[in-house]
Structures are given as C-alpha cells and as structure tokens.
Structure 1
C-alpha cells in the first residue's frame, strides 16, 4: 500500500538512477522528472511502463505511481484518505483497457426455487431483472443496495411476452398486446393496448421517455410497424417498415429515429437509411451499398443491438458450413455513418448463439466459446483477444450435467450471457455467476455467495 501522505517536494538534487545510463529520462534529476509527470495521468504512466524493462521499473516505482495517483483522484471521484493506491491503479487499468481483462471478484447467486428452464434476464445500470412466472411479472435486484422489488400488472389477463429495463422505466409486454410501463422512481403505471397479433414477438427499446415497439404487422408478413410511444404525453405514432430492418438508432434529445433496412440477397447488400422525427414524420432517405469481400455472401440471423451514446452496434451471424461468420454493424450518429467490421473468428453452430454474446461497449464483446468452456473477450479497437476460463461453482451441479449433454448431443448451451463493462452475468439452471470487473464496484448483497470453484 502506498502512503498518500508522502512528501515528494525534494529540495536537493536527487537522481532517480545514478548509473550513468544514456537514457535521458532515467538520468533526469527528480525535480525535472516530477515536472514531466505534471503532464501525465495514470493511463500515460501505464503506457510508459511498456517501453522497456528500465522504464517499467522506473514508472512502477512508488514515487511515480503515488504522484500520478494523487493527481488523478479528482477525476476518479475518490478520497485519498479512504482509497488505497492499488485500487486507483486497478481502476485505471479497467477504465482504459490497459491490462488483461480479469474479474476482480466472482460471486454466485442461487435461484430461489428450482427451475425447468432459464428465465429471461436483463442487466442494466447495476440492476438485475428477471422473470418470475408464478407472479406473471419480474423481480428487480439492485446490486448496490441489495433491495428487491417485484413488478406486474394485475389487470393483464395473459402471460408476459417480453420486458425491457432502462434507467427509469420498466416495460412489460403481454401476449395480448397490452404494454405496461412502470416508472421505477415514482411507481406510477402507464398502460396501453397495441394492435398486434396475439403472442407476436415485439422488440422493445427505450430512451428517456420514448419507447419503441417493433411489431410484425397483423395483415402483412413482409411489413413491420414501429410504434413510437411518448410516455409524457401518452401518445403513439406509427411508422411502417419492411422486415429487412436490421439496425436503428434513436436520439430523444434530437427527436430523431434513424432506421436501416438492408437487402442481403443482393451481391452488394443494398441499404435504405431513413431519418424520422419521433412523431413519425420522414425527414430524409438515402440508398447505398455495403462493401463485402469478393465472393462473400452473408445471410444473417436476427440478433439484438445495443446503443452507447451516439453509437449503436449489432452483431450479425451467418451460418456457413455449420460455423458462424460474424460481422458488426455500427452506426455513429454524430457523423451519420454506418460502418461494417468483420469479426475474425468463427464459433460452432448453435441456433441460440445470440444469447451467448454480449456487446459491452461499441468495440468490446464477451462471447461464450465451447469447447474449451471459456468466455472469449475481444476488443476490435485494439485487436486484443483474451480467453477467460469458465469455472463452475460447487453448487452448479445441474448445469454441469446439462453441459455434458450439450457437448454430447448438440443441444443448446445451458446458460445465458448478459452484462456490461462492470459486471458480466452468466445465468444457468442453478443460478447466476456474477463477474465484477470494476475494482470500485464489488458489492455485497443478500443471497450472493462467495464463489467456490468446483474441483
């Protein structure tokens, strides 16, 4: 541990290394070297450690790390009296992706009762949300406070079809077409009937007080209806689209929705990009083509997407010789640009691969890879790829048996992968493994057991 009270205001001409080495940085007086450090933060310090062995020794010294640590505490929002330097260093490694991605701690949470299949589960803003069928609703677990709350709609005379969680709202979609929105801050309910086919699988997206419902058109197999629900005014505007809708981006601040319909049957896939207001008025439309490598035909499977500020990303998979070829479509709203990037590895075939891949930033993903029973972390921004071994907790007996059946019979992997940069959750038939990556967020909450690996 580094003592934050160390005084580094050296008055005498002290040299960091007095071996006469020709490296000017190493041979500088301490006073000049500390002036250089004024322009560096911890991210720069970690980069300097990679220059050479001598630079690593120098920039790993207690003097350098403590100096940089004290200068960056304001940015971190940490108190130097309460937080040790090692935590600040680990935080910067995690924040800037400078070191290997490894969880700082694992925990395991058992399901409250035996289950026959893995329930739908979401993770958003340090909250777990999962379906509880016996109450025809969901339960939300706040990882920060440990508080649990249950949400349903007693007026809904049907089973739950889908649900979606945002910072403030919870949307429950019932098979009859009823949508219930709960304001998690005020516990106020808004409900509305939508004219959709019974049991239709509607995709839900929320930004601020705007809800998007993407539902198949009742009278046309080739059409899709986009319902834009303004929660404040409780008004709905409808946009018609084809079922070739593969990506969309909503900006509630600018009051716009951008949709991308793609015809993958073309040799060079044809894109129709349309910009709408959130009241359903079309602003503009343009056509262009995606560039694929020569000889490549891509026939993607439906998949989910995630929005990170101005960027929205979806990972698409195509089956070729019982293997998946993958690419990411990313729209950058700040510059109005759609880009395509290939994911340069393939994974074995399974019809449920979308549940085993989680986009945690515009460039970083976690993907289940079996064999060899690992989580594959990839960062397309810097090309880094890491395999993290998946160990089972001693209580994951049912999952262990089902995983053997999956490998032997080719059934679906008995797990579900969700999360973000802070927390990755691996849900299975026994419970949920929680992997914490942010050193400043490793909460203790009821029913979470310390992880104990199975021998």
Structure 2
C-alpha cells in the first residue's frame, strides 16, 4: 500500500507538478472540512486555483457557510439568495481584516467648517448624520450615501443638542432638559419634542423600527423604561429599574415584546432575572430566573467598569467591560431561539474610546469593534469571535492636514507627568472621531471624513467625494 501511494504521488507530480488532495476529495468531505473554516480561510482558499475557486463557490458549500456569515454580520437570512453567498463571505472578510473595497474622502462644506468641526457623527443604513454647531440653535445634517442628497434640520427647541441617533427611518435629537425630538427622514413629518421626567440628558436608548426605548443613567434612583411609539405618537412606561442593575434589554417590534435582563454578578454561577413585557401596555407576560455559567471564571460587581448594549436584528449583545479594559464579557441574546449565552474576550491592548475613555467607538457587527489607538496611531480591530486583536496603521488622506499636525506631535514618555501625557493623548484623540456600521466605517477630522466601504455591492460614486490619496504617496 505504501508503494502504491508513493507511485501515485510520483505520477501526480510528473503530470501536474503537485497533487491536489482537496480537488480529489468527494464534495461531502470538503463540506465537512469547511465547517471548521472561517470566512478568511474560505476567501484565501478561493484564490489558490480555478479548481478551488469552483469548489469553494459551489452552492453546497456556500449554503452551509451563509447562515453563520449573515449572523456574524448581524443580518437576517430571509432576503439573501444562495447565489450571492460569496459576496457576503467576502464582505465579512473585508470587515474583520479592515480591508475596505473602496476609500474616499469627503471634505466638509465651506459653510459647515466655518462654524467649527461638526460633532457626534453617526452612520446607519447608508446614511450619516452630524451636528452643526451654531450659536443659539444647533442644526443636524444628514448625507444619504446612496443618492448623495444632503438634508438639514433645525433644532426648534433652542437648546443645545447633546446627542443624535439615526435608524432606518427616523432621526432623533436629544437636547438638554431631557427633550427628544423625532424626524421621519423619508417624509416631511416631524414630531414635537417630548420632555421626559429625568434629571439628566444621559440616557440609554434602543431604536427598533418605529419604537424608541429609553432609560436614564442612574446609580441609586429607580426610573421606568419609556417606550415612545412613533406610529401612534404614544409614550408608555414599563417597569421600574435602576440603570446600573438593568444590564440590557431586547426589543422585538414585530412581536410587540420587550425582554429585560438583570444579572446578579456577585452570584456564581450568575443569577439572571429575565422578564418579558408587552410594549403596548407595559404588562408582564412572564418571568424566569436561571443560572448562567462564567466558564470557570469569577467576577463581582466591583470589577465592572462599563456596560453597553447593541441591537443587531433579532440579536442583542451586551458588553460588560472589566476594570483595566483588557477583558470584556459578552452576553448574547438570540431572540429566534430565545437563548442567552456568554463569551469572554481578553485583549492584549486595552479597549479604549477617544480621549482614553474605555467603552466607545463603533461596534460594526456582533463581536466586532473598531477603535482608534492614539499611542499606536492606528485602527484597532477587536474580534471577540476569534479572540484576536489586530492593529492597522491609519493612512491619512493628503487633505487631512490638521490631523497630520496633531498626530505628528509625540506623546510624552510613560515615565513623565501623568496628566501631561493624558492631555497629549486627549489632544491626539480629539483630532479623529471613528464611527460606522457593518457597511461603512468613517474617521472624521477637522478637515473632512475618510469613508471605508466594505460591502462589495455598495460602492457608491458620491458626486462631491474626492478619491483617496494617502499622504505618504502624495509627498
């Protein structure tokens, strides 16, 4: 048998110079192997040869890979055809490796930049919006990346806008004195700003279709969840919670339910209180208490530094960052199967926000976060799905002059004055603001916006966008 195998190998080498073991395997075995590969392995395998490209593009293989690819992108599977599976696999690969299909630079309009750098840049559903500071009355501008159309709304409350949120259909403006205004971005309809009875504008918000769920930040004072239904323009209160005790919630607008999760972090295994509410009346449908294993580790409430949660279709993901900012616990609720799971992520670099504050930055997809690392002057990609952290050097466009000047200044050495180093880091971080979603990532500076497009099927030609040219190449 050994001689036979050796002769077969020699014969193969004489005829083809190599033996393609994958190409000779039955398709059923190749499919079994593919189940252990991620999207990067599949993309690279398709580049090996024409034979491998045909094998790794066949419907049998892509059908087995597509569901987990869409789940990793935070997308539903209903409207995606198998014939487009390779596009989504490539898309996920681009996103996880920070390799955009296209880069462009959008300079700020002259009338905008004269008022100062826009703030609170956000992106959702192929649109980006930002606040234009203007004395006495802030404005909110929105750019449709598909059509290139610009829209502007004036803040009628005459109070400074503290935050903006954008969904598929609505733009929300949060001002001081706890006033939230809503605008339908597809029609001229605009809702009068509603004032919510809490003492601070800092709130946790979830937007799901035409439902807005709000809870103010609090340490020891209990507030209800407020649910603003824009379809009926009605506000409903649900339950009573202290913000630090309510870890996250999930909204399903189609089923008209809200699921809240309160976790006792001092119990081992974790003790989870899960409650289902109706959105229309705020009534309790059912409650259950169960245990959730920490996988052999231990944590207490004192170890928690920051909590946040993000919605991705029928999945909601809560991120609990521990002190030191190297470790994050992911609580993932899949409403399709009504299951809560837990995942640990240990990063070699601390997961930080701008100005060195842990927690912010765009969460582009489930278990995936982009962030700006001032000390390394690059983009960090934290991938909890693979447990890896990668750093990509940021290439400035040759028009990002002010950002280049700030980044050229070196940070003080770690042994020098701590406050001087923090101020220098803040100065660097303030020159670039990251934002984005699973299709588009952007870095905004005083000069404009650098946009990265990841979806191979969405590479728009904006009429006022400048082709990207790296500053190093421009001289």
What's the TM-score once normalised by structure 1's chain length? 0.76
What is the aligned partner in structure 1 of residue 103 from structure 2? 106
Contact 1:394 1:452 in 2 (8 A): yes
What is the aligned partner in structure 2 of residue 355 from structure 1? 360
Structure 1: unaligned runs, 5 residues or longer: 1-16, 79-87
Tell me, in whole angstroms, the C-alpha distance in 2 between the residues paired with 1:386 and 1:59: 32
Q: In proportion to residue count, which structure has more helix? A: 2
Partner deviation per Cα, 1:141-194 (whole Å, 9 max, x = no partner) = 00111100012342x132223221111111222213332211122221122533
The secondary structure found in structure 2 opposite 1:407 is coil
What is the aligned partner in structure 2 of residue 182 from structure 1? 183
What is the aligned partner in structure 1 of residue 126 from structure 2? 126
Change (3 A) 1:104 1:383: same
What is the aligned partner in structure 2 of residue 12 from structure 1? none
Partner deviation per Cα, 1:352-392 (whole Å, 9 max, x = no partner) = 23233x22222333233344322233443345654322111
Return the match for 1:312 from 316, 321, 327.
316
Contact 1:49 1:60 in 2 (8 A): no
State the 1:131 CA deviation: 0.8
Contact 1:46 1:98 in 2 (8 A): no
Tell me, in whole angstroms, the C-alpha distance in 2 between the residues paired with 1:433 and 1:326: 29
Tell me, in whole angstroms, the C-alpha distance in 2 between the residues paired with 1:273 and 1:99: 32
State the 1:122 CA deviation: 1.1
Return the match for 1:330 from 319, 332, 339.
332
What is the aligned partner in structure 2 of residue 423 from structure 1? 440
Contact 2:364 2:438 in 1 (8 A): yes
Contact 2:268 2:293 in 1 (8 A): no
State the 1:46 CA deviation: 7.5
Structure 2: unaligned runs, 5 residues or longer: 1-13, 64-79, 413-420
The secondary structure found in structure 1 opposite 2:347 is strand
When structure 1 is superposed on structure 2, of 371-380 and 253-262 the one drifting more is: 371-380
State the 1:132 CA deviation: 1.2
Change (3 A) 1:25 1:162: closer
Change (3 A) 1:26 1:401: closer
When structure 1 is superposed on structure 2, of 383-392 and 226-235 the one drifting more is: 383-392
Tell me, in whole angstroms, the C-alpha distance in 2 between the residues paired with 1:246 and 1:381: 21
Within the alignment, does 1:56 sit opposite 2:45 as a pair? no
Tell me, in whole angstroms, the C-alpha distance in 1 between the residues paired with 2:385 and 2:226: 35
Tell me, in whole angstroms, the C-alpha distance in 2 between the residues paired with 1:256 and 1:295: 32
The secondary structure found in structure 1 opposite 2:360 is helix
State the 1:127 CA deviation: 0.2
State the 1:305 CA deviation: 2.5
State the 1:252 CA deviation: 0.6
